[in-house]
Amino acid sequence: DSGVTQTPKHLITATGQRVTLRCSPRSGDLSVYWYQQSLDQGLQFLIQYYNGEERAKGNILERFSAQQFPDLHSELNLSSLELGDSALYFCASSEETGSSYEQYFGPGTRLTVT
Amino acid sequence: AQSVSQHNHHVILSEAASLELGCNYSYGGTVNLFWYVQYPGQHLQLLLKYFSGDPLVKGIKGFEAEFIKSKFSFNLRKPSVQWSDTAEYFCAVTRLNAGNMLTFGGGTRLMVKP
């Protein structure tokens, strides 16, 4: 158990819908990262937040957005869903934001778009 | 663009065989290097990491990796695999002073036959 929690574990929804994935970082960690794991794209970095502010963006679609709340939990919002958005979405957290800080991964949310 | 390549997509070994998984990265600057493991149905776990110093890094569960700067490589090794090592292995990189987002390789699925 990494200490990072994600809900829900599984999500099945239809194309065109909107979903919200939730992540609670390890106690004391200020930085949260979102990654997408799909069969065709592999594991890709989406976005990073640090202490409530966006810190870095990766290959995140405009239909996707995220935020980090004052209690440091984070939510990833996916809208106008397409079949290709079906993937495993991981959240990770680290104590700080420097490249030497280890990231701890949550169990992931498996999203299936039908 | 920075990339990480894992040339072995699938590896099948018998128990007690030796393992070496290749990883190469394309970035020329200073990097931090990681190997993560994902057991079936579980989250990513850190096996080992290299930031600086001795290029031979020892991790958990008997794994080690060697950083060869001239070859841009960070190969993972284990002298004798066990059935419980069946998992997917990911090499990943972060760049110094460029945030903490991980760039992952495509992963190597290892199956160890009992």
Quick: pLDDT tens for B3-51. Answer: 899 988 999 999 999 999 999 999 878 889 999 999 988 889 999 999 9
Instruction: Measure CB to CB from residue B99 to each of A44, A55, A92 and give the nearest one.
Output: A55
User: Beta partners for A43?
Assistant: A37
CB B78 within 8 A of CB B85: yes
Phi and psi, residue B84, nearest 5°: -70, -5
Question: How far, in Å, CA of A33 to CA of A55, rounded?
Answer: 10
| Distances in whole angstroms, Cα of residue A66 to Cα of each of A21, A69, A113, B4, B106 | 9, 10, 19, 26, 25
Per-residue pLDDT at B43: 87
Total beta-carbon pairs less than 8 A apart between chain A and chain B:
62
A-chain CB neighbours of B94 within 8 Å are 99
Token digits of residue B72? 């841009």
* pLDDT given for residue B88 in this prediction: 96
Question: Under a CB-based contact definition with an 8 Å cutoff, are residues A46 and A66 in contact?
Answer: yes
Least confident stretch, A4-8, A33-37, A76-80, B1-5: B1-5
Closest chain B residue to A104, measured at CA: B45
CB contact under 8 A, A43 and B107: yes
* Kind plus residue range of the DSSP H or E element containing A55: strand A53-57
Q: Report whether A18 contacts A7 (CB < 8 A).
A: no
What is the distance of C-alpha A84 from the center of its chain? 16
**Is B95 in contact with A94 (Cβ distance < 8 A)?**
no
Residues of A in contact with B96 (CB under 8 A): 99
Q: pLDDT tens for residues B52-100? A: 899 999 999 999 999 999 999 999 999 999 999 999 999 999 987 777 8
**Taking CA atoms, what residue in A is nearest to B41?**
A107
